[in-house]
Structure 1
Amino acid sequence: MNIQTTTKFDGPGLDALSPVGRETVQDRIYRQLRIALIQARFDAGEIFLAGDVAQRMSVSSMPVREALARLVSERALEAMPNRRVRVPLLTLERARDIAQARTLIESELAARAISNLTNDDIERLEMLTAEYEDTSDAQDVATLNHAFHFHLYEAAGSSVFMPIVESLWMQAGPYVRAAAKLHKPLTDTAATLHHRGILEAIQAGDKARVASELTADISQSFAILERADPDFWNEGEGGAS
Structure 2
Amino acid sequence: MDAIQPVPRTLLRDRAYASIRDAIVSGEIEPGAVVRDADLAEQLGLSRAPVREAFARLVDEGLLESKPQSYTRVTRVVAADVRDAAAVVGAMHELVTRVAVPRLFAADIEAMREANECFAAAVGSGDVDAALHADDELHDVLVRVSGNHAAAATITRYTPLIRRLERRRFGEGGNCRSAGLHDQLIEACAAGDVDEAVRVTAEIWRGLEGLADPD
* TM-score tier after normalising by the smaller chain length: 0.7 to 0.9
Letter in 2 for 1:171: L
Q: Residue 162 of structure 2 is aligned with which of 167, 172, 190?
A: 172
Structural RMSD (CA) = 2.5
Partner of 2:131: 141
Q: Distance in 2 between matches of 1:49 and 1:62?
A: 12
Partner of 1:74: 61
Contact 2:128–2:167 (8 Å) recurs in 1: no
Tell me how far 1:130 sits from its aligned partner: 0.6
The total of aligned residue pairs comes to 203
Within 5 A, what are the aligned runs for 1:88-167? Answer: 88-135=75-122, 136=125, 137-167=127-157
Tell me how far 1:81 sits from its aligned partner: 4.9
Contact 2:37–2:52 (8 Å) recurs in 1: yes
Q: Distance in 2 between matches of 1:224 and 1:70?
A: 26
1:114/1:89 CA distance change after superposition, 3 Å = same
Q: Distance in 2 between matches of 1:121 and 1:106?
A: 16
Contact 2:83–2:210 (8 Å) recurs in 1: no
Tell me how far 1:180 sits from its aligned partner: 2.4
Q: Residue 52 of structure 1 is aligned with which of 29, 39, 44?
A: 39
The answer for unaligned runs of 5 or more in structure 2 is 1-5
Tell me how far 1:174 sits from its aligned partner: 2.3
Partner of 2:210: 223
Q: Distance in 1 between matches of 2:194 and 2:50?
A: 43
Partner of 1:63: 50
Higher relative contact order (CA 8 A, sep 6+): 1
Q: Residue 193 of structure 1 is aligned with which of 157, 180, 187?
A: 180
TM superposition score normalised by structure 1: 0.73
1:191/1:49 CA distance change after superposition, 3 Å = farther
Deviations 1:149-183 (A, max 9, x none): 2222111101221111111213323232333234x
Tell me how far 1:111 sits from its aligned partner: 1.5
- The SS at the match of 1:89 is coil
Tell me how far 1:49 sits from its aligned partner: 2.2
Runs of 4+ in 1 over 6 A off after TM superposition: none
Letter in 2 for 1:41: S
Tell me how far 1:22 sits from its aligned partner: 4.7
Q: Distance in 1 between matches of 2:138 and 2:87?
A: 20
Q: Which moved more, 1:165-174 or 1:191-200?
A: 165-174
Letter in 2 for 1:122: I
The answer for unaligned runs of 5 or more in structure 1 is 1-20, 229-241
Tell me how far 1:79 sits from its aligned partner: 1.8
TM superposition score normalised by structure 2: 0.81
1:46/1:77 CA distance change after superposition, 3 Å = same
